[in-house]
């Protein structure tokens, strides 16, 4: 038994651990996926304001994927979701950090909400932004509620700390 063999064995074990969902970086989303999930959600029997039917769950292809959660975070600001929902705390629109959803909090419900829009201000984004981005945004929004594994979500963003449990109504010091 010498160190060479030892470390070789250990490396072998390591390889067997294989890859994991969290680190998947689907940089170039395949068009097929766009179609499939798009249709799946479109044809779901969910109706605006209608009863939530749990059996109609469509799985989010980007669930648990750290890369797509952070992409979702970027798009959340780029597409100005933050304009109404702020950083999840809500403003003009309802807060997204919560447990009780008006139109259901399952991925498929969120997908419907974003695609079809909702009364009183939520615009319909269907057909305007590609589905894979909608799923990325959903992944991010659900991460706000801790519905994504902590190991896949970032400790913070490069912004002013908005996490309410730290401090009430504080603002950052001005930096030179």
Partner 1 sequence: MTAAKTLDVAQLPPYDVSSQSPLWWGQVCLAIIEGTMFSILLACYFYVRLRMDVWPPPGDQFPHLLIPTLGLIPLLLSVPPAYYASQAAKKNDRGGMIRNLALNLLFGLIYFVLRVVEWHSLNFNWKADIQGSLVWAFLGLHTFDYVGDLGFTLVLLVLVLTGRYGEKQRLGVHVDTVVWYFLVAVWIPIYIVIYWGPRLVETPR
Partner 2 sequence: MSRVAFLVLCACALTSCAGHQQSAVDPAGVQADRIAHLWWFFFCVLIAIFLAVMAFTLWTLTRRHRGIEQEPLESKHKPSEATESRLTRTVSGLVIATVLVLLVLLVSSITTGKNISELRDKQHGLIIETTGNQWWWQFRYLNDDSNEILITANEIHIPVGRPVMIRGMSQDVIHSFWVPNLHGKRDLIPSRITEEWIEADHPGAYRGQCAEYCGLQHAHMVFWVIAEPPEKFKHWFDSQLQPAATPTDPDKLRGQQVFLKNACVFCHAIRGTTAAAQNGPDLTHFGSRRTIAAGTLPNTPGNLGGWIVDPQNVKPGNHMATIAVNSEDLQPLIDYLESLK
Partner 3 sequence: MNRSDHVTPTTGGEARELRLLEQAWRHPRGIFGWLSYTTHQAIGLRYIVTAFIFLLVGGIEALLMRIQLAVPNNTFLSPDRYNEIFTTHGTTMMFLFAVPVMEGMGIYLVPLMLGTRNVAFPRLNAFGYWMYLCGCIFLYWGVFTNAAPDAGWFAYPPLAGPQFDPGKRVDFWAQMITFTEVSAMCVAAELIATIFKMRAPGMTLNRIPLFCWSMLVQSFMVIFAMPSIMIASSFLLSDRTLGTHYVNPAEGGDPLLYQHVFWFFGHPEVYIIFIPALGFVSHIISAHSRRAVFGYPAMVLSVVATGFIGFGLWVHHMFATGLPQIGEAYFTASSMMIAIASGAQIFCWIATLWTGRLRMTTALHFVFGFIAIFVFGGLSGLVLASVPLDLQVHDTYFVVAHFHYVLIGGALFPLFGAFYHWFPKMTGRLLNEALGKLNFWVLFIGFNLTFFPMHILGLKGMTRRIYTYPPEMGWGAANHLATIGAAIIALGGLLFIANVLLSRRRGQIAGDDPWDADTLEWAASSPPANYNFEYLPVASSRSPLWDPPEERAIVTGLRNDRREALVTTLMDAEPHHRYVLPGPTIWPLITAIAVTVGFAGSVFNGWYIFWGAGLTGIGLIGWFWPRRPLELKP
| Binding status of residue 169 toward partner 1 by CB under 8 A | yes
Q: Which two tokens stand for residue 81?
A: 């979701």
| Binding status of residue 119 toward partner 3 by CB under 8 A | no
| Contacting residue, 158, 160, 168, 173, with partner 2 by CB under 8 A | 158
| Contacting residue, 133, 143, 148, 153, with partner 2 by CB under 8 A | 133
Considering only the stretches 12-20, 34-42, 90-98, 113-121, report the one whose residues sit in contact with partner 3 under the rule CB under 8 A: 12-20
> What is the closest distance, in whole angstroms, from the C-beta atom of residue 93 to partner 2 in the complex?
17
- Decide whether 103 or 132 has the Cβ nearer to partner 2: 132
| Binding status of residue 144 toward partner 3 by CB under 8 A | no
Give φ, ψ of 87 to 5 degrees. Answer: -85, 40
Per-residue binding string, partner 2, 15-34, x by CB under 8 A, is: ------------xxx-x--x
Q: Per-residue DSSP letters for 37-90?
A: HHHHHHTS---TTSPP-GGGPPPPTTTT-HHHHHHHHHHHHHTTTHHHHTTTT-
Q: How far is CA 112 from CA 16, 39, 89, 116, 153, in A?
A: 39, 11, 21, 6, 24
| Binding status of residue 157 toward partner 1 by CB under 8 A | no
Q: Which residues contact 8 (CB under 8 A, 6 or more apart)?
A: none
């Amino acid at each position: 038994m010498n160190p060479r063999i030892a470390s070789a064995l250990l490396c072998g074990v390591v390889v067997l651990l294989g890859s994991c969902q969290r680190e998947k970086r689907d940089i170039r989303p395949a068009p097929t996926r766009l179609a499939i999930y798009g249709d799946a959600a479109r044809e779901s029997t969910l109706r605006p304001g209608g009863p939530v039917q749990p059996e109609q769950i469509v799985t989010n292809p980007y669930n648990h994927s750290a890369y797509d959660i952070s992409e979702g975070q970027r798009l959340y600001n780029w597409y100005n979701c933050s304009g109404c929902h702020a950083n999840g705390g809500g403003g003009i629109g309802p807060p997204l950090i919560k447990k009780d959803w008006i139109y259901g909090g399952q991925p498929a419900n969120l997908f419907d909400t974003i695609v079809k829009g909702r009364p009183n201000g939520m615009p319909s984004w269907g057909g305007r932004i590609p589905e894979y981005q909608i799923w990325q945004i959903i992944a991010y929004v659900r991460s706000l509620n801790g519905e994504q594994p902590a190991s896949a979500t970032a400790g913070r963003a490069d912004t002013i700390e908005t996490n309410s449990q730290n401090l009430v109504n504080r603002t950052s010091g001005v930096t030179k």
